[in-house]
Amino acid sequence: MPKAGLEPAWVSPHAPQTCVSAIPPLRHEQADYETSCCPCQRVERGVESRPFAHHLDVSKLLLTMTRSASSPAPLAHSQHWIGAFFDVDNTLIPGASIEIGFFRYLWQDGVVGWPELWHSMEYAIRQMPPISLSPLRRKKLYLMGHDVSLIEQFASEYVELFVVPRVSTRALSRLSRHQDAGHVVALVSGSPEFLVRPLAAKLGVTLVFGARLEAQSGLYTGNVFAPLPYGEGKGRHVERLAARYNLDLSRSYAYGDSPGDFHALQLVGHPFVVNPIRGMARIARQQGWPITQWA
């Protein structure tokens, strides 16, 4: 059985991305934020939601997608990189989890059906109380027995057709600014690695932490390696990445939408709560973290 680990699921041999030392923190455009009644909270002004292509010049998008990483010059002992850690579901991609959409995609193609759905729900019910989807994050029973290469092929098609067009333009702008500043950018998500990896490739991101699924003889077992990049596990991935690439977390950035991102957000000097759900707006106000909406 393969060993679980904290190494990135997919890392370019040239990672991390080029770093520029002594980079000041990113500034917030006056047009993007307004101060709320709480001095520590900033709320992004509403923007009309339009299709992805209406917001973005295609040539700029392609330039971002094909951005290549280069090896940085050796760091002096006193130098540190700056990290930028992005959640995916409802952060880079507003709305429902990309894994839910992928399940529907497989359903429509007849790859999964009622037996897989029933096995997943039966497992979740057995784990109650409390009522939570957390068990389904740690068991992917709908994939049990399915061919790895076939699922990865469907995943690449699904991301290309239905995920990339949903990337928030404000998220893409912020991610590009981190890349241009030479920060070490990583996607850290509880969604399956086979979904996060092709999205990262399109965005020019070389460091990817997603849920790693166990396979035997080319078939998924339904098990997910620990630690899952969610909750405390997400914080552990961020800490391991910081240690590996000599990141200064006090100058680094993290973006997330839910309590599952809390441990990662509290590790960095610049946490941002994006599209908050499940009480995360209240937590952000308590912590004094900025709140923003990426439509």
Over residues 16-28, mean pLDDT:
41
Q: CB-based contacts of 162: which residues, under 8 Å, 6+ apart? A: 101, 105
Helix (H, G, I), strand (E, B) or coil at 260: helix
Q: Is the pLDDT of residue 22 over 90?
A: no
Instruction: Quote the tokens at residue 43.
Output: 């709320």
Rounded Cα–Cα distance for residues 217 and 144 (Å): 12
* pLDDT bucket at 248, cuts 50 / 70 / 90: very high
Q: What residue spans of 130-231 are helical by DSSP H?
A: 134-138, 148-158, 169-180, 193-203
Rounded Cα–Cα distance for residues 282 and 47 (Å): 22
Least confident piece of the model among 22-31, 150-159, 170-179, 259-268: 22-31
* pLDDT bucket at 53, cuts 50 / 70 / 90: very low
The identity of residue 255, as a single letter, is Y
Q: Is the pLDDT of residue 156 over 50?
A: yes
* pLDDT bucket at 109, cuts 50 / 70 / 90: confident
The percentage of the chain sitting over the pLDDT mark of 90, rounded to a whole number, equals 58
Residue 252 in contact with residue 73, Cβ under 8 Å?
A: no
> What is the domain range of residue 37?
10-21+31-72+79-292
Rounded Cα–Cα distance for residues 98 and 93 (Å): 8
Give the per-residue pLDDT at 121.
55
| 133 phi/psi in degrees, rounded to 5 | -90, 0
Q: Does residue 26 belong to any structural domain of this protein?
A: no
Residue 20 in contact with residue 27, Cβ under 8 Å?
A: no
Please indicate whether residue 69 or residue 216 has the higher confidence score (pLDDT).
216
Rounded Cα–Cα distance for residues 101 and 276 (Å): 20
Q: Does residue 2 belong to any structural domain of this protein?
A: no
Rounded Cα–Cα distance for residues 40 and 35 (Å): 8
Q: Is the pLDDT of residue 268 over 80?
A: yes
Q: Does residue 4 belong to any structural domain of this protein?
A: no
Number of domains in the chain: 1
Q: Does residue 1 belong to any structural domain of this protein?
A: no
For residue 280, CA distances in Å to 87, 110, 122, 157, 167 come to 14, 36, 29, 32, 21
Give the per-residue pLDDT at 114.
56
Long-range (24+ apart) CB contacts under 8 A made by 273-280 are: 274/87, 274/90, 274/91, 274/171, 275/90, 275/91, 275/94, 277/90, 280/256
Give the per-residue pLDDT at 3.
41
Helix (H, G, I), strand (E, B) or coil at 45: coil
Q: Does residue 244 belong to any structural domain of this protein?
A: yes
Give the per-residue pLDDT at 112.
75
Q: Residue 249 is part of a domain; what is its CATH number?
A: 3.40.50.1000
Q: Is the pLDDT of residue 287 over 80?
A: yes
Q: Does residue 94 belong to any structural domain of this protein?
A: yes
Q: Does residue 185 belong to any structural domain of this protein?
A: yes
Query: Average pLDDT, whole number, for the chain?
Result: 76
* pLDDT bucket at 80, cuts 50 / 70 / 90: confident
Q: Does residue 183 belong to any structural domain of this protein?
A: yes
Q: CB-based contacts of 199: which residues, under 8 Å, 6+ apart? A: 88, 92, 93, 98, 159, 163, 164, 167, 187
Rounded Cα–Cα distance for residues 211 and 232 (Å): 14
Q: Is the pLDDT of residue 270 over 90?
A: yes
* pLDDT tens profile 193-238: 999 999 999 999 999 999 999 999 999 998 999 999 999 999 999 9
